[in-house]
Amino acid sequence: MRVIAARLLEWYDRHARVLPWRSPPGGAPPDPYRVWLSEVMLQQTTVAAVKPYYERFLARWPSVEALAAADNAELMAAWAGLGYYSRARNLLACARTLVAEHGGRFPGSAAELRRLPGIGDYTAGAIAAIAFGEPAAVVDGNVERVVSRLFALDNKPAVRARAAALTPAERPGDHAQAMMDLGATICTPKRPACAICPVRSDCRAFALGVQEAYPIRPAKAARPHRRGFAYWAEADGHVLLVTRPAKGLLGGMRALPTGAWGAAPSLADAPLSAEWRLLPEPVRHVFTHFSLDLSVACARVRRDEAAGEWWPIERLGEAGLPTLFDKAARLALRERMTETAIAC
């Protein structure tokens, strides 16, 4: 185990990715706020997608105290497009708990960090190892793949136990990031670059010639498909937006009004009576647990006919609509421009 950890650190010292939330190999530990913010954003999201969001967030909310004081709607709008919106709600809840109960300071151990809202085993381990030097196991998708291949392991508990045993007392944060980088750049899901892997000689799956068989995944269940309507209600150069319920899908986000999403949606679920005109093509979107065809219905109405937030259409880009509703709005705007062109 020590030999593998030493080889990984030696490789990391030469090949570490330069990322805005990291300290260089062997350097002083980074600010735990930066580690936490980056790790939450990186859940189910690529480094390339996270970088611009991270930099904008840090410029706008440079400390946990600043984030705790953020307006809910403002933060959700800033998160728009990054997906998995419960992360943003948990981020805000955690920041407020840290300020209210810990004086804005992060606890230094994984066990204490796990008690905070939205922080699970992986994030707690990452903050504890990278920011505080605790030899905590850090197992994300990349690390799971590396460890499962190294030891030809076929179940998550065994992978986690071996990852913990592999973590050295010295430089545990650099070790965790070395494992992440190895999985992201060399020990990739398909066609891993085993020829340049620093621990190839220790890899059981490589010795057996079955690298791509690990980690072993259960067969995926079929994803259900749903249908629904989004409503573009326009009045005097404004469009009606609503705030979705705090709990549930896209909770707390601004959105176009919708009806229920299911097998047989109906225009009868429209938020107000109007002569709705259905656009010919729906928006197709895939969530984690289901796929959706969202048809867009448009109408011109009076502003006193519905409750909600009437947003200036020319400033709609500032509303922070999540990707699904941004797609729907773009369809409606394209149709709107076509109508204007015909009228001219």
73: left (phi over 0), alpha (psi -120 to 50) or beta: alpha
Residue 65: active-site member: no
Q: C-alpha distances in angstroms, 258 versus 16, 25, 230, 269, 290?
A: 46, 49, 4, 8, 17
Q: What are phi and psi of 24, to 5 degrees?
A: -65, 160
Please give the Cα distance from 132 to 281 (Å, whole number). 52
The residue annotated as part of the active site, out of 10, 39, 144, 212, is 39
Longest dimension (CA), the chain: 75
Assign 3-class secondary structure to 46-69.
Answer: CHHHHHHHHHHHHHHCCCHHHHHC
Check: CB of residue 177 under 8 Å from CB of residue 12: yes
Residue 201: both structure tokens together: 């000689």
Annotated catalytic residues are: 39
